[in-house]
Amino acid sequence: MKTILVVEDETYLRDLYKQVLESEHFVVETAIDGEVALQLLQKGGYDLVLLDIVMPKIDGITVMQKLQESPPQKKNGPILFLTNSEEQTSIASGIALNARGYLIKSDYNPGQLVSEVKRILEEERVKTQV
């Protein structure tokens, strides 16, 4: 079973993402801010991470920078940024820090989010088999 970390400070979205992903038989852990996310990501072992960019305490870009400086104990899978904006500077910074990509939250309904998660996990599975 695949484990996904959802890092989202908005309670409604965090709960929604957790619910729809669990309904598809993923194990889902959540973090309410960048500080909690960094602690969880340092332990590692997630198959996929959905990381909000704008959060309290530590933003998503800083979380990525800190992971680069101090790699996790156990490797994490791809990290996808969640954002409400199309701020290209933040997105470009995240991609430069090895984020797989980004999802603009308002562009994805829950079903589309699940489809995107499954697509990325399948890409990872194929990549590791090669």
pLDDT grade for 108, boundaries at 50, 70 and 90: confident
pLDDT of residue 97: 79
Amino acid at site 57: K
pLDDT of residue 101: 85
Q: How much is the average pLDDT of 7-23?
A: 96
- 8 A C-beta contact, residue 119 and residue 89: no
pLDDT of residue 88: 66
CA–CA separation, 75 and 91 (whole Å): 22
Taking only the tens place, the pLDDT of each residue in 35-89 is 999 999 999 999 999 999 989 899 999 999 999 999 899 999 999 998 887 666 7
Residue 9 three-state SS? coil
Return mean pLDDT, the chain. Answer: 91
What does the DSSP assignment read for 59-124?
-HHHHHHHHHHS--SB----EEEEESS--HHHHHHHHHTT--EEEEGGG--HHHHHHHHHHHHHHH
The domain total for the chain is: 1
Q: What is the CATH number of the domain that holds 119?
A: 3.40.50.2300
pTM: 0.93
CA–CA separation, 37 and 67 (whole Å): 11
Structural domain span for residue 114: 3-129
Does 5 have pLDDT greater than 80?
Answer: yes
